[in-house]
Structure 1
Amino acid sequence: MAYISVLKLILSVYCFFTLFILCSTAPELCNFPAIFNFGDSNSDTGGFSAALFSLPPPYGQTFFHMPAGRYSDGRLIIDFIAESLNLPHLQAYLDSLESNFTHGANFATSASTIRLPNRVLPCGSGFSPFYLNVQYGQFHQFKSRADFIRTRGDIFGSLLPREEDYLRALYTFDIGQNDLGEGFFRNKTIKQVYASIPDIINQFTVDVTNIYWVGARSFWIHNTGPVGCLPYILTTFKTAGKDSAGCAKAYNEVAKYFNLKLKEAIGQLRKELPSSAFTYVDVYSVKYSLFTHPKKYGFELPLVACCGYGGKYNYNNEVTCGYTLKMKNGSEIVVGACEKPWKRVNWDGIHYTEAANKFVFNKISTGAFSDPPRPLKQSCFNPS
């Protein structure tokens, strides 16, 4: 009996110290006081709507119950990131109405590119004037003006981040899809678009480095998704060869090459900027799984837009989601949404539904699709 008692004591002590060691060596959770986001329509929370063209209903119908500047029926991945960190949804830097930037700002706008685009809106079918280098400039100005405003000690200073928050903030990036799209829709060959990617990535690294020198240390960078699975590509390039999921294979291969070069560039940035934490996030793989196994995850018709009109993919570039189609007989049809957006992957032919965005966030936030494989809440730079 004495032997058994001693053995139990030894085991208890062993378990206690094992638990103590595990707890003491477990990575601490980050305390991100703010988020600064850079990107395109995949993470635009109202910048494009404030600066250029506002969105009509049924955008925003699922969560906000009205258009909220987001190219979806509800929340975006960046919204779920903010919620998971117990931060409010990011407000657009370009939105001057009732804006509170205490916990960061969003510089992303729809149709933004990394490089200066060939054609800029509102002229024709151009891209956003707020490409990544401009977003960097806006961030730099935001920080400089915020520092000045805080010194005045008035109410406006309370609506801005604290000086120490910039080093501790999370810096998120989701951009690059439109650089590929610009090539595709300018009638470049697939080979020419491939050839443009190194220069696109080089410009990305320049802008990220500049943002680092303004004060960024913790970077969470999304790669680009499977563009060949989106209705606007499938409708425009009807003769493109399809893979087993029905996606335009060549266009997805371009996206994968972009992602390869992006990952290599982030690896180089880690070497050049050692006082930082760079996390490369493979959203491509998660998004592509929605097209290869939709039923497994509770989705249906992944290649068909929920809000659109006409054709195999319910998409028409001339009459997009929320706008009015005039029929030959004089009647009008408002392009509306499908009955069950929560079961659909694609919202308007280009962007994802809230349900799909939530699915992607739940997968990537665990770190299972990240390099290095760390969860979102452990992706901060720790100087110690």
Structure 2
Amino acid sequence: MYNIAIFAFVTIVLLLVSLASSTEGRRISPAPPCDFPAIYNFGDSNSDTGAISAAFWPTPSPYGTSYFGKPAGRNSDGRLVIDFIAEHLGLPYLSSYLDSIGTNFRHGANFATAGSTIIRQNESIFENGLSPFSLDIQTVQHYQFKTRTSELYHQGNLHVISLKIGIHIFSAKKKSFMKKLSRPQDLSKALYVFYIGQNDVAAGIRKLSFELQKAAVPEIISQFTTQIQTLYQRGARIFWIHNTGPIGCLPVATVKVQDPLPGYLDENGCVKSQNDIAIEFNKQLKDEIVKLRSERSEAILIYVDMYSAKYGLITNAKNQGFEDPFSICCGHHGIGYDVWCGNKGNVNGSEVFGGSCGNPSKVISWDGVHYSEAANRWIANRIINGSFSDPPISISKACQKA
């Protein structure tokens, strides 16, 4: 009886080992990272890499000094979140579609423009710091980009064919030009990034009551999703969509507050009503993205909670190596005055210059509205790994269905 028990035990162990070995042999390897050939970005100043500088007014010094050593068309002392995304994916920084000098579009293009909104604003856009390049204009620009690129690429290929049959000499200059063109076949494989909505929320705060702001949100979201649908119909398939950040935590909002009534600021010192509108915008945006997933089964739509990432940094600034989250590195802002970064202005009867602080790497806000490179890096590191994504997937795996 004892020998039979031992035999049975040994038999079971051998069977389990055999099954484990068999399972090990069939184990599915993790899917490799996506090999995105290009990025196409749409947005506002949070991801503008040179549009406003090319179209209207150049970004002044000391913008760009922490990384580029000079103004680089970005509203920061250095790189933006979109720059860190490109780095992470092994792609070069995006050239602005509006920048015609020294641009290279082989790996994508940036249609984001500082001051842009989702809905066209019925106000003096320049007076209020807004851009004429609303999201629908940006998607039209993308269509023009796609159409013209295909034409030029086709012409270039004809020259190559002519060269092969000895009719035309394909010059080195032409080859160099072709290398800067997006390849038509890459458009449907590219990553489409969105980072827009903050200016729509800000415009509502300036013009409307809180209830009217809430009532305006559905139309803003509808316009947003319409442009996503438009890009889908033109071949886009992979969408990485940032929601809007905690606008009530921007220092240009908080430094204007003097003797606030109870409840005006939240427990972390941000303007509560402004953040409430941003939260409502984000909720409705997420709902619509979930709905779009069911309607567009071929699309991959990833919702990225930029609000939570930014708010997490602001509320935990000192533990993350930053100073006061509401301090401003470049420029001077307060009750009754604004001297913007890189400009001169008057404060209490004295002329001052909006220059940079001594150590931008210790501040979250670069100029009161835009984040420093150090903060952008911190935020990018938190969102690209999928920690703030729905579905929870990293940006390097964004081409794969969850």
Tell me the residue number matched to 1:33: 37
Which of 353, 376, 382 in structure 1 is aligned with 2:395? 376
Moved more, 47-56 or 89-98: 47-56
- Shift in alpha-carbon separation, 1:8–1:165, aligned structure 2, 3 A: farther
> Structure 1 residue 159: deviation in Å?
1.2
Contact 1:41–1:71 (CA under 8 A) maintained in structure 2: yes
CA root-mean-square deviation: 2.5
Q: Quote the Cα distance in structure 1 between the aligned partners of 2:223 and 2:363.
A: 35
Letter in 2 for 1:263: K
Tell me the residue number matched to 1:247: 270
- Shift in alpha-carbon separation, 1:127–1:327, aligned structure 2, 3 A: closer
Give the number of equivalent residue pairs. Answer: 375
Q: Tell which structure's C-alpha radius of gyration is larger.
A: 2
Q: Tell me the secondary structure at the aligned position of residue 195 of structure 1.
A: helix
Tell me the residue number matched to 1:201: 221
> Structure 1 residue 117: deviation in Å?
1.1
Residue 128, structure 1, aligned to residue 131, structure 2? yes
Q: Quote the Cα distance in structure 2 between the aligned partners of 1:298 and 1:77.
A: 19
Q: Quote the Cα distance in structure 1 between the aligned partners of 2:314 and 2:90.
A: 31
TM-score, with length taken from structure 1: 0.91
> Structure 1 residue 23: deviation in Å?
3.9
Tell me the residue number matched to 2:321: 298
Tell me the residue number matched to 1:177: 198
Which of 104, 111, 114 in structure 1 is aligned with 2:115? 111
Residues 191-340 of structure 1 aligned to structure 2 (within 5 Å): 191-236=211-256, 238=258, 239=260, 241-311=264-334, 318-326=338-346, 332-340=351-359
Contact 1:322–1:336 (CA under 8 A) maintained in structure 2: yes
Q: Tell me the secondary structure at the aligned position of residue 396 of structure 2.
A: helix
Q: Tell me the secondary structure at the aligned position of residue 164 of structure 1.
A: helix
Contact 1:119–1:126 (CA under 8 A) maintained in structure 2: no
Tell me the residue number matched to 1:66: 70
Q: Quote the Cα distance in structure 2 between the aligned partners of 1:80 and 1:133.
A: 26
Q: Quote the Cα distance in structure 2 between the aligned partners of 1:13 and 1:354.
A: 54
Letter in 1 for 2:287: E
Tell me the residue number matched to 1:93: 97
Letter in 1 for 2:185: E
Q: Quote the Cα distance in structure 1 between the aligned partners of 2:202 and 2:266.
A: 20
- Shift in alpha-carbon separation, 1:263–1:55, aligned structure 2, 3 A: same
- Shift in alpha-carbon separation, 1:149–1:381, aligned structure 2, 3 A: farther
Letter in 2 for 1:243: D
Which of 159, 164, 168 in structure 1 is aligned with 2:189? 168
The one-character-per-residue Cα deviations of 1:213-243 (angstroms, maximum 9, x if unpaired) are: 1111000000001101001222445547111
Unmatched runs of 5 consecutive residues or more in structure 1: none
The one-character-per-residue Cα deviations of 1:58-110 (angstroms, maximum 9, x if unpaired) are: 11111111110111111010000000010000000000000000000000000
> Structure 1 residue 318: deviation in Å?
3.5
- Shift in alpha-carbon separation, 1:167–1:282, aligned structure 2, 3 A: same
Contact 1:150–1:158 (CA under 8 A) maintained in structure 2: no
- Shift in alpha-carbon separation, 1:236–1:197, aligned structure 2, 3 A: farther
Contact 1:44–1:69 (CA under 8 A) maintained in structure 2: yes
Contact 1:35–1:105 (CA under 8 A) maintained in structure 2: yes
The one-character-per-residue Cα deviations of 1:17-56 (angstroms, maximum 9, x if unpaired) are: 55554443x2332110000000000110001111111111
- Shift in alpha-carbon separation, 1:339–1:13, aligned structure 2, 3 A: farther
Q: Quote the Cα distance in structure 2 between the aligned partners of 1:234 and 1:12.
A: 64
The one-character-per-residue Cα deviations of 1:265-315 (angstroms, maximum 9, x if unpaired) are: 101111221111000000111100112111221111101111121438xxx
Q: Quote the Cα distance in structure 2 between the aligned partners of 1:235 and 1:336.
A: 18
Residues 66-85 of structure 1 aligned to structure 2 (within 5 Å): 66-85=70-89
Letter in 2 for 1:300: E
Q: Quote the Cα distance in structure 1 between the aligned partners of 2:44 and 2:216.
A: 19
Letter in 2 for 1:74: G
Contact 1:218–1:381 (CA under 8 A) maintained in structure 2: no
Identity of aligned residues (%): 46
- Shift in alpha-carbon separation, 1:20–1:333, aligned structure 2, 3 A: farther
Q: Quote the Cα distance in structure 2 between the aligned partners of 1:16 and 1:84.
A: 37
Contact 1:266–1:278 (CA under 8 A) maintained in structure 2: yes
Residue 48, structure 1, aligned to residue 52, structure 2? yes
Letter in 2 for 1:211: L
Letter in 2 for 1:289: G
Letter in 1 for 2:123: R
Contact 2:344–2:351 (CA under 8 A) maintained in structure 1: yes
Residue 353, structure 1, aligned to residue 372, structure 2? yes
- Shift in alpha-carbon separation, 1:40–1:7, aligned structure 2, 3 A: same
Q: Quote the Cα distance in structure 2 between the aligned partners of 1:364 and 1:63.
A: 21
> Structure 1 residue 164: deviation in Å?
1.2
Letter in 2 for 1:140: Y
